[in-house]
Amino acid sequence: MSTIGIDLGGSKVFAVRLVDGEVDTTERTVVGRSVTTVDAIVSAIEEISQGDESGVGIGLAGLVRPGDGMLVWGPHLSGTHLSIGSEVSDRLGMPVVVDNDANTALFAEMRLGVAVGYRNVLLVTLGTGIGGAIGIDGAIYRGGAFAGEFGHVRVEDGGLLCDCGKRGCWETRASGPALARLAREVVEANPDSSLARALDGVAVTGEAVVGAADEGDETARALVTEVGRSLGQGLADLAAIFDPDLIVVGGGLGSIGESIIGPARRVLADSLHGGNLRVPPTVQVAMLGQAAGAVGAALMAEGTIHG
């Protein structure tokens, strides 16, 4: 039994082929925006296919209606109301399931990764923004369709403009771009600072700032701690609502680990309603890395078609 899983982001397609639980991963780069979403997906599938698959799962960054396989809107994908599921299914002649990529990533972590054995799990992906997914009693909770958009919970009146067009969203405070923005402000105000020297000649990304912090730059360390604390405050709000057993932190910045997650854990523990009378949820780094979304999509296809 084999299925293919696809995770389509703004600049990359991850494709995996799942054969009896064994995972074979490839990664390819989408060539600019001239490639339509469906063409990018179909060509990635054709590249990895061995011709014996029984179905395809697709994870997309954006608002997805799993019921009819519709991408309503994606911040990094062109077009709205795209019938991804039926178009890819028609092109390939096999069943296709479509879901939000954070949902597929959480599904993978629950089946094969760090969340195996937990009943109530939240996934928070920290990258360009904040993605989220909710696992309740071992299943993905979607609400009407779009539940889990944690990054766009407003944490600040006014506040910075978010990619979604609103102001003060959590992801403007706790994401790769948020950390990079704090670093740029320091560098512009203090061009002779050690942080300015550490970041000289490199692209100022959240990961670069964490790199400078891990190499001992005190200013970078303070900025990383600040973003980690914003992460922890949001996790405490999520814990107040869901009281999960486990919070999985993934994404490019989240996967870096303790330098971000350490401060977040401390704020989470300090902010919980009930204080030291309760045990805070466990916070762990995602295990399956960048392939999680595609692996989970392949597992969803397997469960839908053969389950």
Contact flag: residue 60 with Zn ion (CB under 5 A): no
State the minimum distance, in angstroms, from the CB of residue 16 to Zn ion: 30
Of 61 and 199, nearer to Zn ion (C-beta) is 61
**Eight-class DSSP state of 154:** B
Residues 169-208 that bind Zn ion (CB under 5 A): 169
Contact flag: residue 162 with Zn ion (CB under 5 A): yes
Of 169 and 246, nearer to Zn ion (C-beta) is 169
Interacting span for Zn ion (CB under 5 A) from 32-40, 164-172, 260-268, 292-300: 164-172
Contact flag: residue 164 with Zn ion (CB under 5 A): yes
State the minimum distance, in angstroms, from the CB of residue 12 to Zn ion: 22
List, as one string, the DSSP characters of 197-235.
HHTTTS---HHHHHHHHHTT-HHHHHHHHHHHHHHHHHH
Of 111 and 152, nearer to Zn ion (C-beta) is 152
Of 166 and 273, nearer to Zn ion (C-beta) is 166
State the minimum distance, in angstroms, from the CB of residue 161 to Zn ion: 9
Cα separation, 256 vs 233, in Å, equals 19
Task: Report the chain's C-alpha Rg in angstroms.
Answer: 20
Of 172 and 284, nearer to Zn ion (C-beta) is 172
Pairing of strands 12-19, 22-29: antiparallel
Site string for Zn ion, 137-156 (x = CB under 5 A): ---------------x----
The residue among 228, 242, 234, 243 whose CA lies nearest residue 280 is 243
Cα separation, 31 vs 306, in Å, equals 34
Of 28 and 181, nearer to Zn ion (C-beta) is 181
State the minimum distance, in angstroms, from the CB of residue 263 to Zn ion: 23
Cβ–Cβ < 8 Å for 133, 123: yes
Of 131 and 296, nearer to Zn ion (C-beta) is 131
Cβ–Cβ < 8 Å for 225, 232: no
State the minimum distance, in angstroms, from the CB of residue 73 to Zn ion: 13
State the minimum distance, in angstroms, from the CB of residue 66 to Zn ion: 22
Q: Which residues contact 46 (CB under 8 A, 6 or more apart)?
A: none
State the minimum distance, in angstroms, from the CB of residue 164 to Zn ion: 3
Q: Which residues contact 240 (CB under 8 A, 6 or more apart)?
A: 272, 273
Site string for Zn ion, 1-40 (x = CB under 5 A): ----------------------------------------
- What H or E segment, with its residue span, contains residue 123? strand 121-126
**How many residues of this chain interact with Zn ion, rule: CB under 5 A?**
5
Cα separation, 257 vs 286, in Å, equals 9
What 3-state class would DSSP assign to 146?
coil
- Residues near Zn ion (CB under 5 A) are 152, 162, 164, 166, 169
